[in-house]
Amino acid sequence: MTSRIAPSILAADFGNFAAEVRRADEAGGDWIHCDVMDGHFVPNISFGADVIRGIRGATQKPLDVHLMIERPDLYLERFIEAGADHVIVHVEAQHDVCKTLAAIRARGKKAGVAINPATPVAALWPLLDQLDEVLVMTVNPGFGGQAFIPEVLPKIREIRARAPRLPIVVDGGINPQTGRQCAAAGADVFVAGNSLFKHKSLGLQEAVAELRKNVTL
């Protein structure tokens, strides 16, 4: 599969979201990844549907909206109306996952499920025929800037073996080195925040290019 880079706006300048999204778009990002946190499912709060609406006006790239929220089923419609193209919900959240995925697809959007590092990969198997993507958390969700957890790599390999054509997204601690490990395991969409927006020596465009080079095997 073709590797795709999804800059995560969680690492962008919150005071200039529209400009940052345009910058990520122009730098070569394939998707724009948006982490929505509610302070319940994860111990942090990020932003809601109104911010997604503002981002939608700044780019034509797909908006990959990751709902790290306790009751995604209650808020799906708001994020879809705001402009989400892909909606990712957690298998660990408090909802009927199958019904939630069906509701996303009924609106013509791509449906995805995320699993945390501690969640057995077998939780995905009953859902495979309802998924347009699966997101493997490579850190514990809730905060940006965490260190990559290498123990998740066997999960990626197992998902790829079970679902050869399903896009596998990795999210958390992704940089050229960890991204390459994930690519070798079978991932093909790479969410990156600090390693792109806060690179120590490269501009955003150069950082995107560096990551893409390392995950293209």
Which residues belong to the active site?
A: 35, 171
**In 96-205, beta strands by DSSP E:** 110-115, 133-137, 168-171, 189-192
Q: Given 3-state DSSP classes, what are the helix, strand and coil percentages for the chain, each rounded to the nearest 5?
A: 45, 20, 35
What are the tokens at 119? 């969640």
- Cα(137)–Cα(149) distance, rounded to whole angstroms? 9
The H-assigned helical ranges of 63-167 are 72-82, 97-106, 153-162
